[in-house]
Chain A
Amino acid sequence: MSWGRAFVALARRDLTIAFRRRSEMANPLLFFVMVVTLFPLGVGPEPKLLANMAPGVVWVAALLAALLSLDGIFRPDFEDGTLEQLVLSAHPVPLLVLAKVCAHWLITGLPLLLVAPLLALFLGLPEGAMGALMASLLLGTPVLSLVGAIGVALTVGLRKGGMILSLLVLPLYVPVLIFGASAVDAASMSLPIAAQMYILGAFLALAASLTPVATAAALKISLS
């Protein structure tokens, strides 16, 4: 089936474009680091307090960084007309949406994972929790991209789309935040994290199968 070819071609296209504008890739990362840095400045540098807050703070910062980068999934395509071409493709739109979201995650989500240990260090997160942090971000950040894509698709045609996007998407992010932060928290107290991981995995499976359809429908509505 040429579906596979279309999927790969589209993902490759987005990755190529991101690579050619690679200075922009650093923005969500810098934001991530800066937000985490603000917390000690705000609540004081007491190590025990910071270590306690660390799981939640890192997760909230990751969430905000993901939110910030969401616009890039569809807005540039909307502005140069390639989004229309996507919806008019001979291949099913949900498949193409999935390709774009995968590429987007590789560009914006995966780097967060790579920087997370540094931030855990800033906040004094115990070593034992590092693995849980990476694992929870690995499972959770793709869900953020997948669910966020629906919000972007709904607001891409709007002038002030960015502001509404946060309002639409943040309530939907709450479950991922709860279980992601909880996993890291539990790990830092040497408690088991299997339940949280399974649930995050379930979220990912659910999001990967359902959100592309909703996103595709939303795109067609925004473009009409």
Chain B
Amino acid sequence: MNLAGEGLECTRDDRVLFTGLDFSVDSGGALLVEGRNGTGKTTLLRMICGIRRPDAGELRYDGECIFSLGSDYHTHMAYVGHMDGIKRELTAEENLRVADALGRPGRMSIAAALERVRLAGFEDVQANKFSAGQRRRLALARLLVSKAELWVLDEPFTSLDRHGVKLVEELMAEHIAEGGMLAVTSHHDVDLGAADVLRLDLSA
């Protein structure tokens, strides 16, 4: 598996954020996007997700342009962005069941995923009773339920305490070790262990 970008350009409000961007990530690799606020980190991730089209250049998954792949591409990736993407009126389990139906399930059962993010026992609790950190962990549980090879994470450490941060790092490392791919932005210094990390600094 391979995710590659070639000659990527992004313009926002008539300003060019970045241009001529190239990268290539294989299985077991991670793309770490760094840069000050406003340099286009989130925008680049959204391009990788296929939500936003680059103003120039191409993004390819296994050699094929992701826009021609359409929703097939989305079977290979999972995204956790700034917002949690969970419904407050639903319980933890209901949220994951919907994520299951919308994505490509099969990696972990819902119960196992909840346990892994230390939310076991909260299956029937409505998400509006969770703390911000718990909601973030529930959002991350979505990743565990899906069989996506590529995880796209925008600031995954927000709202998390020290233990939560460690949990996320563990999850990321496990995913890489299993042959998955990561595209991450973070303000924090991310410890991805032995992974093959490609650092992309957009401020440069």
Contact = CB atoms under 8 A, between A and B. Distances in A.
> Are any A and B Cβ atoms less than 8 Å apart in their complex?
yes
B75 A90 contact: yes
Interface string A4-30: 011011100100110011000000000
A88 interface: yes
Nearest to A220: B51
Interface residues of B, number: 33
A10 to B, nearest CB: 7
Interface in B64-81: 70-71, 74-75, 77-79, 81
Interface stretch (A79-87, A108-116, A146-154, A169-177): A79-87
Interface stretch (A47-55, A63-71, A91-99, A179-187): A91-99
Interface string B166-198: 000000000000000000000000000000000
A144 B53 CA distance: 31
Contacts, number: 83
B89 A88 contact: no
A185 to B, nearest CB: 42
Nearest to A14: B87
A121 interface: no
B101 A5 contact: yes
Contact of A81 (B75, B85, B90): B85
* 4 closest Cβ pairs, A-B complex: A81-B83, A9-B101, A81-B85, A224-B52
Interface of A: 2, 5-6, 8-10, 13, 16-17, 20-21, 79-82, 84-93, 96, 220, 223-224
